[in-house]
């Protein structure tokens, strides 16, 4: 049995996510890519130089952890080295999505304070986590992949400086996409609030600590590598953790 037959259900979900990204204009042209680790040595990934709205079942590519194609007629995305880095350094991660959602993208080209490192909405606080800026590097290079290393153990979402966003999760590609959509709406709200000239009102330490209860009820893992943090407060308020 071929991999596309074995993972037909997952492939259909993968395609739905590709098409939703394109329909929402989170990707344009050939931009953006997705990857889903289905087995320890099997990764479903998008092909290079295709609009995500045009990708069909026969276009999907399967690669191994060394980046070699094991099934598919197209070449995998040129960013495969970035994905291999993610899966190597974060073995708990199952799916990763890179796109250019416009409101999140605005933060990728802003100087000054990174507002996405502060908690404003409960859902973003306990489902997405802080979003640090990864320094710019030329796309489709090992340098770009390597720039993520200082951040991979701490976070699950990343702003790529002057480029876009990467979000990963230990869940399905659809869950990862929903986190991207949640972050995009959060970015939109922050930009709208900033445009009024008023100060932003973030969640208190107590409010963030209470969200640990939501994490337990939903059986959601904390962000970053397993065991890295004990509480959402450790993640969002590292200055408090450092004093303990």
Classified by CATH at the fold level, domain 3-243 comes out as L-fuculose-1-phosphate Aldolase (3.40.225)
% pLDDT > 70, the chain: 98
State mean pLDDT over 12-30: 98
> Under a CB-based contact definition with an 8 Å cutoff, are residues 64 and 70 in contact?
yes
Which strand (E) or helix (H) includes residue 105? Answer: helix 102-108
State mean pLDDT over 50-69: 98
Query: At 39, phi and psi to the nearest 5?
Result: -140, 165
State mean pLDDT over 87-108: 98
Q: How far, in Å, CA of 4 to CA of 155, rounded?
A: 31
**CA angle at residue 127 from 236 to 93, to 5 degrees?**
100
pLDDT surpasses 60 at 37: yes
Q: What angle do helix axes 173-195 and 8-23 make, rounded to 10 degrees?
A: 20
State mean pLDDT over 21-44: 98
Any idea which residue has 């990857």 for tokens? 35
Closest CA to 217 of 149, 146, 122, 152: 122
pLDDT surpasses 80 at 243: no
Closest CA to 180 of 113, 90, 55, 96: 96
Residue 36: strand pairing partners: 44, 95
Question: Which pLDDT band holds residue 244 (cuts at 50, 70, 90)?
Answer: low
The whole-model pTM stands at 0.95
Sign of CA dihedral 57, 62, 67, 69: negative
> Under a CB-based contact definition with an 8 Å cutoff, are residues 236 and 119 in contact?
yes
Any idea which residue has 């069909």 for tokens? 56
State mean pLDDT over 233-240: 92
pLDDT digits (tens, 9 = 90+) for 167-205: 999 999 999 999 999 999 999 999 999 999 999 999 999
pLDDT of residue 239: 84
Give Cα separations from 207 to 51, 126, 133, 190 (angstroms).
41, 11, 25, 19
Q: How far, in Å, CA of 177 to CA of 172, rounded?
A: 9
Q: For the chain, what is the mean pLDDT?
A: 96
pLDDT surpasses 90 at 86: yes
Q: How far, in Å, CA of 34 to CA of 165, rounded?
A: 12
Buried b (16+ CB within 10 A) or exposed e, 108-117: beeeeeebbb
Any idea which residue has 């953006």 for tokens? 32
Closest CA to 14 of 30, 37, 31: 37
Q: How far, in Å, CA of 79 to CA of 143, rounded?
A: 11
pLDDT digits (tens, 9 = 90+) for 115-147: 999 999 999 999 999 999 999 999 999 999 999
């Amino acid at each position: 049995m071929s991999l596309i037959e074995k993972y037909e259900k997952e492939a259909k979900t993968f395609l739905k996510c590709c098409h939703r990204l394109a329909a929402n204009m989170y990707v344009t042209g050939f931009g953006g890519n997705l990857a889903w680790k289905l087995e320890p040595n099997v990764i479903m990934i998008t092909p290079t130089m295709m609009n995500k709205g045009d990708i069909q079942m026969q276009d999907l590519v399967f690669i191994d952890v060394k980046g070699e194609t094991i099934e598919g007629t197209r070449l995998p995305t040129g960013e495969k080295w970035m994905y291999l880095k993610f899966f190597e350094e974060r073995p708990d991660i199952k799916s990763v999505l890179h796109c250019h959602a416009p409101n999140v993208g605005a933060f990728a080209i802003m100087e000054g304070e990174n507002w996405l490192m502060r908690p404003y909405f409960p859902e973003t606080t306990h489902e997405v986590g802080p979003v640090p800026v990864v320094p710019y590097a030329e796309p489709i290079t090992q340098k770009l992949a390597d720039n993520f290393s200082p951040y991979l153990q701490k976070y699950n979402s990343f702003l790529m400086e002057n480029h876009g966003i990467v979000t990963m999760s230990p869940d399905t590609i659809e869950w990862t996409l929903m986190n991207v959509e949640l972050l995009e709406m959060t970015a939109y709200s922050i930009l709208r609030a900033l445009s009024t000239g008023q100060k932003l009102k973030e969640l208190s330490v107590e409010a963030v600590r209470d969200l640990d209860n939501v994490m337990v009820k939903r059986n959601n893992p904390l962000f970053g590598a397993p065991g890295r943090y004990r509480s959402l407060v450790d993640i969002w308020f590292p200055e408090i953790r450092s004093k303990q």
